Structure 1
Amino acid sequence: MRQRAVKAVELMDDPDCDARRLQNTYRQFGVVNRALSGWRRLYVRELRPLMVAHKTPATLLDIGSGGGDLAHLLAGWARRDGLPLRVTGIDPDARATAYARGRPPKPGVEFRQAHSADLVREGGRFDFVISNHVLHHLSADELQQLLADSAALSTRKALHNDLRRSPAAYALFSAAALPFPHSYIRKDGLTSIRRSYTPAELAALAPPGWHVEATTAFHQVLALRRT
C-alpha cells in the first residue's frame, strides 16, 4: 500500500475475460456506485446548484462511463429535480458501450464508444465533465492528457472522482464485496484500490487550477471549477 501497484491489471480489462462475469460486473456496478462512490453528495453540492442558477438545459460528459449506471443515475436525479440535463457517456471499450446501449433507454442519455481526445478534436463542449473510478487506471502521462482534455471540454466544472489508496479501504472493501458473486467486482475492486492514488500523489500530478478534495472516507475528487 505504500506504493501504487501500477503494473497490476484488472481482470475485466482482459479482452478475453468471461463474458457472463463481465456482464454481471457491469450490472453490479450500479449497486456499488450508488452505495459507495459518493456521487449523490457531489450531485447535490457541485452540479445541482449550477443547474438551478443557470436555468438553461445543462450538458454533462461522463468519461469512461462503463456500463452506464452513473449516467442514468445523474439523469434520473436531475429529472426528479425538474432540471433538464443531457448526459453523454463515452468509453473506449466496445463491450462497455454495447452494455450501456442495451440498457432500457432514459431520456437525455446517450452512449458512444470514444476517447475524450476524440471529442476534443470534434470541438465538443459540455457544462460538466466527470469520471468515476477512471484515474487509477491511468499512467501519469495518461492522467495529464485526461485533465487537458477535460479542461478543453468543460465550461463550468470537471470532477474526477476516484478511490483513495489505504489499508483500511482495502480491508473494508474486501469484506463489503463478498455479497457480489460471479463477477469481477471484488477482485478488480481490490486491484483498483492498490492502483489508486493517495491525495498527496494526486495533488503532485495535478496542473494549476485543479484541486484534490475528499468526498467520502475512501474517495477523493480532482476538481476544476470555472464558476
Structure 2
Amino acid sequence: MRRTVTPELLDSDSGTPAEVTASLADLNFINRWFGGIATLCAMIEKIADKTAQKSFTLLDVGAGTGTVAVQAAQRLARKNIELRPVILDRAMTHLTKGLHDRAPAFVADALHLPFAAGSFDLVACSTFAHHLEPRQLVEFVDRALEVARIAVLVNDLRRNAVHLALVYLGFPLFRSRITRHDGPVSVRRSYTTEEMLEMLRRTRAARVQAENYYLDRVGAIAWKKK
C-alpha cells in the first residue's frame, strides 16, 4: 500500500467550532480504546525497565488536547511509575479544549521546540509523525534528541490495508465529519514499521528500536547518546 499525502481537515481547523470539538473528542476516544495511550505507556515501561528509573518528565509534542500524555500518567501511576507531562501543540484551539489544567501547556512549532537542551527526560509524539515528511521527521527527532535526556518516543499509526478497512468500519463511532475524512487520510499518510526504522536510523540517535502494538500502531524509541 503506497503512502499518499492529502491534507487533514483538523490540521487547519477546517470546520465549525462544534465540528472541531467533536473531532478532538473522537481522537480522545480512539486513543483511549484503540491503542494510543496504551502504546505510549508500554514504551515508557520499557524505558523504566531499561534505566531502572521510576520518575520521568515528558514533553508531548503535537499533543492536541493533551489527553494521551495526561491519561498515560494516570495509568502509569498504578504501576508505580511517575510521569510528569508537559504538552505542546501548534494550535491553542486544541489545547483549550483539553486537559491542559492538569499539565503545563505551550503553543509552538514541533520543528522549533522552545526548550533548552536536556529539558526533559523524554520527548514523545503520538499520532503526529505521519504529518511530517521523512526529512521533517528526521529533523524533528534530531531536535527532540537535543531537548531529551534519555530518549524520543514516536507513537503512530501503521499503514496497511487492514488498518484502512478498520477505520472505515469505525465510521459509525465517529461524531464528526472531520474525523470521517481525516481517519482514512491519516492511515494513508502513515509509515510502516520498516519505514519508521529506516528514518530513525538517519537521526543522531545512539540506537533505535520499533515494535508493532495493538490495533496497527508502531511504537519507536530513539535513544540518546550518552
**TM-score bucket of the superposed structures, by smaller chain:** 0.7 to 0.9
**Whole-angstrom CA distance in 2 between matches of 1:127 and 1:183:** 37
Unaligned runs of 5+ in 2: none
Are residues 1:72 and 2:66 paired?
no
Structure 1 residue aligned with 2:213, among 207, 210, 215?
Answer: 215
Q: Which string of whole-angstrom CA distances, capped at 9 and with x for unpartnered residues, describes residues 89-119 of structure 1? A: 101122212223xx4833xx12110134543
The residue number in structure 1 matching 2:4 is: 5
**Whole-angstrom CA distance in 2 between matches of 1:166 and 1:137:** 17
Structure 2 residue aligned with 1:187, among 181, 192, 213?
Answer: 181
How far is the alpha carbon of 1:182 from its aligned partner?
A: 3.0
Equivalent residue of 1:39, what SS? helix
**Whole-angstrom CA distance in 2 between matches of 1:82 and 1:212:** 25
Equivalent residue of 1:161, what SS? strand
**Whole-angstrom CA distance in 2 between matches of 1:163 and 1:169:** 9
**Whole-angstrom CA distance in 1 between matches of 2:116 and 2:167:** 39
The residue number in structure 1 matching 2:37 is: 39
Equivalent residue of 1:23, what SS? helix
**Whole-angstrom CA distance in 2 between matches of 1:29 and 1:147:** 23
**Whole-angstrom CA distance in 2 between matches of 1:92 and 1:38:** 20
**Whole-angstrom CA distance in 1 between matches of 2:152 and 2:136:** 16
CA contact (8 A) 2:87 2:100 kept: no
Structure 1 pair 35–11 and aligned structure 2 pair: CA distance change class (3 A): same
TM-score by length of 1: 0.84
CA contact (8 A) 1:178 1:186 kept: no
The residue number in structure 2 matching 1:105 is: 101
Equivalent AA in structure 2 for residue 145 of structure 1 = E
How far is the alpha carbon of 1:28 from its aligned partner?
A: 2.2
How far is the alpha carbon of 1:45 from its aligned partner?
A: 5.2
Equivalent residue of 1:20, what SS? helix
**Whole-angstrom CA distance in 1 between matches of 2:53 and 2:35:** 27
Q: Which string of whole-angstrom CA distances, capped at 9 and with x for unpartnered residues, describes residues 203-226 of structure 1? A: 332226223321224111221135
Unaligned runs of 5+ in 1: none
Cα RMSD between the aligned structures? 2.5
Equivalent AA in structure 1 for residue 25 of structure 2 = R
Percent of paired sites with the same residue? 25
How far is the alpha carbon of 1:26 from its aligned partner?
A: 1.1
**Whole-angstrom CA distance in 1 between matches of 2:133 and 2:38:** 28
Equivalent AA in structure 2 for residue 18 of structure 1 = T
The residue number in structure 2 matching 1:53 is: 52
CA contact (8 A) 1:4 1:196 kept: yes
Number of residue pairs matched?
Answer: 220
Equivalent residue of 2:105, what SS? strand
The residue number in structure 1 matching 2:130 is: 136
Which structure 2 residues correspond to residues 19-34 of structure 1 after superposition, within 5 A? 19-34=17-32
The residue number in structure 1 matching 2:84 is: 86
